Each structure stands twice: as structure tokens, then as C-alpha cells.
Amino acid sequence: MAYQETNVTHRAGSGVNAASTSKVLRNTYALLAMTLLFSAVTAGGAMAMGIERMNIFVFFIGAYGLMFLVHKTANSAMGLLATFAFTGFMGFTLGPILSSYLTLPNGAALIMNALAMTGLTFVGLSAVALVTKKDFSFLGNFLMAGAIVLILAMVAGLVFNIPALSLMVSAGFVLFASAAILYQTSELVHRAGETNYILATITLYVSIYNLFVSLLAILGIMSND
């Protein structure tokens, strides 16, 4: 009898965890879709206004400042406003980049190819984590080390302006963003404590943003543009 009660309790607990995970996944992907759409709107606005590329230091201050705000307010209603402020800002900074690519002979094709590759990569990696339910928590250490290496490589790229180094940095960001998508999706599936869909959304959004920009840069370099 005690075994049966324990077994029933275990099944009930598993059911609650599964329902909680499903809810967080739905909220995360719903918010992610809305933030991506909002970013597209702000990017289009920046393009329509002819905004020039933002100073790199202003970009970093704005991006990391708003990201810090998201993390500070993630457990309150203000977290949603901070999330849209951050993703709107990122979309706005993407506008001038897209405008510069559209001036190229095959710029529109490059953008569409990068967008398609980003979408397929995100869907494919998410499917791997959701369908196989493999635990990718081991990627956590790789992401920490990779972030440090990429930041140093970015600084070196800004100082020395070497095309080959820029290509390596972009390729590194593609791998980093792909690993981050696997890791965050796995955390949503396997960690019952991962219930903050705002933070999960931000992680996936940044991964998609980096993936798209990096693929766009690689396609541009490979096409000699």
C-alpha cells in the first residue's frame, strides 16, 4: 500500500512538472514570437528613417543596460516592458545593417538566405532538444568559455580590422548561438526550476539575433560583398 501511494505521488508530481514545463514552453515561444515581430517593426522603422549605424560603444551600453534591466525586473510585470524595450532596441540597431546590405547588388537575396537559414537552424535545434529530450546542460561550461573567447576576438577584430578574423568571429557566433539554443531549450525541458519564461525568451532571442547577423556577415564575406 505504501509503495502504491508513493508511486501515485510520483506520477502526480511528474504530471505537475510536465504541465509546468509545457506552460513555460508555450509562454516562452509566444513571447519570443511577439518580440521577434516587434524587432522587425523597429528595424523597418529605422530603415524608413534612414538611421545610420550606431556607434559600437553606444550599442553596447544600450544593449547591456537594457539586458540588465530585464534581469532585474524579470519577476515582475515590468519585466515584459523591459523585454520589449530591449528587443525593440536590438531591432532598431539591426535596421541600418539591413539597409547597408540592400545597397548591394544581391543584398536582398543575402538577407533572405540568412533569414531562412536562421529559421531552419532554430527550428531544427529546438526540435532536437524537445523531441529527443536529451540533456544539454553540459554545454553550460562551453558557453561561458565561448563568451569570453568571442568577446576577446571581437575586440581584436575592432582593433586590427582583419577580414579573416571577422569571418572566424562570425563562425564562432554561429556555433555559440546554436549551442545556446540547445542549452536553453534543454533547460526548459529538464529543469523544473526554470520557470521564468522572460529570461528564457531573452536567451533565445539573443541567440537568434546573433545567429542571423553572423550568417548574414558570413554570406556577405563569401560573396565578396
- 117-172 confidence digits (pLDDT tens): 999 999 999 999 888 888 888 888 888 888 888 877 777 766 666 667 778 888 88
Q: Are the C-beta atoms of 204 and 187 separated by less than 8 Å?
A: no
CA–CA dist 116, 212 (Å, integer) = 9
Query: How many degrees, rounded to 5, is the angle at CA 215 between CA 206 and CA 145?
Result: 55
- 83-122 confidence digits (pLDDT tens): 999 999 999 999 999 999 999 888 899 999 999 999 999 9
How is residue 55 annotated by DSSP? P
Res 204: pLDDT: 94
Task: Output the pTM of the full model.
Answer: 0.84
CA–CA dist 153, 184 (Å, integer) = 24
CA–CA dist 113, 101 (Å, integer) = 12
Query: What amino acid is encoded at 88 in this protein?
Result: G
Residue 156's alpha-carbon distances to 19, 112, 135, 142, 153, in angstroms, are 46, 29, 34, 21, 5
CA–CA dist 225, 18 (Å, integer) = 48
What does pLDDT average to over the chain?
84
pLDDT at 221 over 50: yes
